[in-house]
């Protein structure tokens, strides 16, 4: 049963959809620090909350006339996409190894990329978007025009082009799933790749150098102020990166669809795609107050929209419909959330543990993904129970195939 709690002793209200006693002390301190900033209007804390850089992952921070780049994070626009298929589990091959191999051939993972950039005609997206305008806007990115040589900017543009339609590593993944009716879904999680991190890092450092941030208790929470050229520059670059992340997922999903069709050697019908950011900025109004809302590991639930809340590697996910709860700034969690660091996971678990915890899922079961073992994450069912007033469940998906970098 969902129960909101208030974190006591903060200047701005901190509303929590989890028991504060279960949150690591360092993360609680981050929440208190951001709530005490003079620009903070309020904070909503999701049940997947855990320690981050500057701001916790799993928090929604509403500010007046200011924005903190670290409250978005370095993977600007990171998010999820999912699409239902017309295939049932009964129509899948007995072994899903071929499906996994087809996806891994189609989508670069980890540090890999499309060496010459993906030919968008191959996936039928060359006319689906004004790509010329998009790349022209790359040339106007503020963070790349400050002290960066033309050669370095060209290298970044080339890499950004090569990474469109690529997964990356860490907690990013591609899955083939099945819902409660045995209908098969395709799902993926990725963001703005290297270029998003470059833009975020540049703006975070620029904010730290501004005089009004000199006395902050945590320099990683440096903000830009409304009406300044620095904030305008950040928001312009951020919006481009958010669009890059959305397009990256759109292209990747087309590659996954094609790979799925090839693996099954038959035509496949696909339903309407669901896509949502969970690291981003939006301008929203609550109680008549215009606010700049940053979601770092949280999805929007406004207007009853559909969203995706994944679990850990191979444990399944939820398709949800938002309940637009204003107390949470119309937000919900972005996943299960880590309960231990990557280093701690590698110390705690073995390859045998990984094999046991991903039994029945066609996926990597080696040391390279040990830090993503399900045991390193919070229990997804508990996380969902804590936010029943934020979302309604549309579908529960179980993982059949999981591809990671």
Secondary structure, 3-state, 111-156:
CCCCCCCCCHHHHCCCCCCCHHHHHHHHCCCHHHHCCCCHHHHHHH
Q: What is the CATH number of the domain that holds 295?
A: 3.90.1860.10
Residue 404 labelled as part of a binding site: yes
Residue 63 domain flag: yes
Angle at 199 between CA 228 and CA 311, to 5 degrees: 115
pLDDT, tens digit (0-9, with 9 covering 90-100), for 348-374: 999 999 999 999 999 999 999 999 999
Residue 369 belongs to some domain of the structure:
no
Where do we find the tokens 């543990």? 353
Q: Is residue 362 part of a domain?
A: no
pLDDT at 323: 98
Catalytic, 212? Answer no
Residue 361 placed within a domain: no
Task: Find the catalytic residue in 41, 50, 203, 334.
Answer: 334
Tokens standing for 156? 């970044």
Is 81 known as a binding-site position? no
Nearest partner of 102 among 403, 368, 334, 384, judged by Cα? 403
Is 285 inside a domain boundary?
Answer: yes
In a domain, 193, yes or no: yes
The 10 Å Cβ neighbour count of residue 301 is: 25
User: Domain limits at 122?
Assistant: 5-339+377-404
Q: Is 189 annotated in some ligand binding site?
A: yes
So what's the pLDDT on residue 1? 53
* 337 is annotated as contributing to ligand binding: yes
Q: Are 242 and 277 in contact (CB under 8 A)?
A: yes
pTM as predicted: 0.96
The answer to whether residue 355 sits within a structural domain is no
Is 368 contained in some domain? no
Is 283 annotated as a binding-site member? Answer: no
Predicted confidence at residue 314, as pLDDT, reads 80
Q: Is there a binding annotation on residue 379?
A: no
Element housing 176 (H / E): strand 173-178
- Residues of the chain with pLDDT below 70 are 1
Asked whether residue 267 is marked as a ligand-binding residue, the answer is no
Phi, psi of 400, rounded to the nearest 5 degrees: -110, -40
Domain count, the chain: 1
User: For 195-230, b where at least 16 C-beta lie within 10 A, e where not — what string?
Assistant: bbbbbbebbbebbbeeeebeebebbbbbbbbbeeeb
């Amino acid at each position: 049963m969902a129960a909101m709690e208030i974190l006591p002793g903060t200047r701005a209200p901190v509303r929590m959809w989890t028991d504060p006693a279960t949150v690591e002390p360092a993360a609680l301190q981050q929440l208190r620090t951001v709530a005490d900033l003079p620009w903070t209007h309020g904070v909503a804390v999701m049940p997947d909350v855990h320690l981050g850089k500057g701001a916790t992952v799993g928090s929604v921070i509403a500010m007046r006339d200011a924005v903190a780049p670290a409250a978005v994070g370095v993977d600007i626009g990171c998010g999820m996409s999912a699409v239902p298929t017309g295939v049932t589990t009964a129509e899948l091959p007995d072994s899903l190894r071929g499906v996994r191999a087809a996806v891994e051939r189609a989508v670069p993972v980890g540090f890999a990329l499309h060496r010459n950039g993906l030919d968008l005609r191959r996936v039928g997206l060359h006319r689906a978007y004004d790509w010329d305008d998009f790349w022209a806007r790359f040339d106007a990115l503020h963070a790349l025009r400050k002290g960066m040589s033309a050669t370095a900017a060209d290298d970044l543009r080339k890499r950004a082009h090569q990474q469109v339609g690529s997964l990356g590593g860490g907690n990013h993944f591609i899955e083939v799933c099945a819902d409660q009716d045995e209908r098969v879904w395709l799902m993926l999680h990725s963001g703005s790749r290297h270029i998003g991190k470059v833009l975020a890092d540049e703006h975070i450092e620029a904010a730290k150098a501004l005089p009004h941030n000199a006395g902050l208790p945590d320099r990683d929470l440096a903000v830009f102020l409304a009406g300044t050229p620095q904030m305008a520059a950040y928001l312009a670059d951020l919006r481009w990166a958010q669009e890059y992340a959305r397009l990256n997922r759109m292209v990747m999903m087309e590659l996954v669809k094609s790979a799925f069709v090839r693996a099954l050697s038959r035509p496949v019908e696909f339903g309407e795609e669901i896509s949502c950011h969970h690291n981003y900025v939006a301008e929203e109004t609550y109680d008549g107050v215009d606010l700049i809302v940053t979601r770092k590991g949280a999805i929007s639930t406004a207007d009853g929209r559909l969203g995706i809340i994944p679990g850990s590697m191979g444990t399944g996910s939820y398709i949800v419909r938002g309940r637009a709860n204003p107390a949470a700034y119309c937000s919900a969690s972005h996943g299960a959330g880590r309960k231990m660091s990557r280093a701690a996971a590698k110390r705690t678990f073995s390859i045998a543990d990984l094999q046991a915890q991903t039994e029945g899922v066609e996926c990597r079961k080696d040391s390279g993904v040990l830090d993503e073992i399900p045991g390193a994450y919070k229990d997804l069912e508990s996380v969902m129970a804590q936010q029943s007033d934020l979302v309604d469940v549309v579908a529960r998906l179980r993982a059949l195939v999981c591809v990671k970098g």
